[in-house]
Amino acid sequence: MSIVKKIRKARREARAEVKAAKTRVKAEVKEASKAQQRQQKLLAKQEKALIKSEEKGLKKRRKHEKKMAQLELDKLKHGRLNKDNVKRYAGALRTAAPLLLPLVYRGIVAAQGQLEANRAKKAGLTTDQMAAFSGHGASLKARTAGIRNTLKDSDLPAGFKRDVKERLNEVDSSIDNAEYMTDQQRRRVHKTINAEIDNITAEIQQRLSA
């Protein structure tokens, strides 16, 4: 086989591999979208059940509080505090437990929101800007975007900015290429990319603090 034929064959095989990789990525994105929709429906159903439980618990709590107020009034009228009264107050505390479930759920949601906010802040972005990135390398893309924002707002030398932008362009290209790799390959590449971003960030911080 001539060199030209070998080159053509290699090109055909490379195109076929890229096409197959893109097809796999599209299928993965489609499946991920379906999974997200199922998750959102499940969360909506759970939230509805929690709200209903909260309303039911609130009604029960008000009824119980009214009963406890009456017991307190009776206690004051009789001027005594005995073992039976202590047991009643202990029971009142136990009945408050169901009301804690919605609060726990809201706490988890708030914690997740705070986690996303912290990630966005670390990347130098808002939570809305962070949400604009998708794919396996979304967090890496967010970091490079945050660095670009820092450069834009800084008074660093133009030559240094240009050098950093070129390095960021190479990093972004590597992130895009990693989307078509296997999980194991992608993890290795992402580790290298993270290290490069850390180096760029350190250099910028050093320049800013000089």
What's the pLDDT at 93? Answer: 46
**How confident is the model over 134-171, as pLDDT tens digits?**
788 888 888 888 888 888 888 888 899 899 999 999 99
Q: What percent of the chain has pLDDT over 90?
A: 13
Are 178 and 186 within 8 A, CB to CB? yes
pLDDT band at 76 (very low <50, low <70, confident <90, very high): very low
Residue 68 vs residue 49, higher pLDDT: 49
What's the pLDDT at 70? Answer: 61
pLDDT band at 104 (very low <50, low <70, confident <90, very high): very low
pLDDT band at 188 (very low <50, low <70, confident <90, very high): very high
In sequence order, what DSSP letters do the residues of 168-201 get, joined into one string? HHHHHHHHHHHTTS-HHHHHHHHHHHHHHHHHHH
What's the pLDDT at 6? Answer: 65
pLDDT band at 96 (very low <50, low <70, confident <90, very high): very low
Q: What percent of the chain has pLDDT over 70?
A: 60
Residue 50 vs residue 107, higher pLDDT: 50
**Non-local CB neighbours of 116 within 8 Å, separated by 6+ positions:** 127, 130
Given a cut of 50, whether residue 42 has pLDDT beyond it is yes
The pTM of the full predicted model, rounded to 2 decimals, is: 0.42
What's the pLDDT at 165? Answer: 92
In sequence order, what DSSP letters do the residues of 135-180 get, joined into one string? STTHHHHHHHHHHHHHHHTS---HHHHHHHHHHHHHHHHHHHHHTT
Q: Which of 7-11, 126-130, 173-177 has the lowest mean pLDDT?
A: 126-130
- For residue 18, what are its two tokens? 């890229």
**How confident is the model over 111-133, as pLDDT tens digits?**
556 666 666 566 556 666 666 67
pLDDT band at 15 (very low <50, low <70, confident <90, very high): confident
CA distance 173 to 184: 19
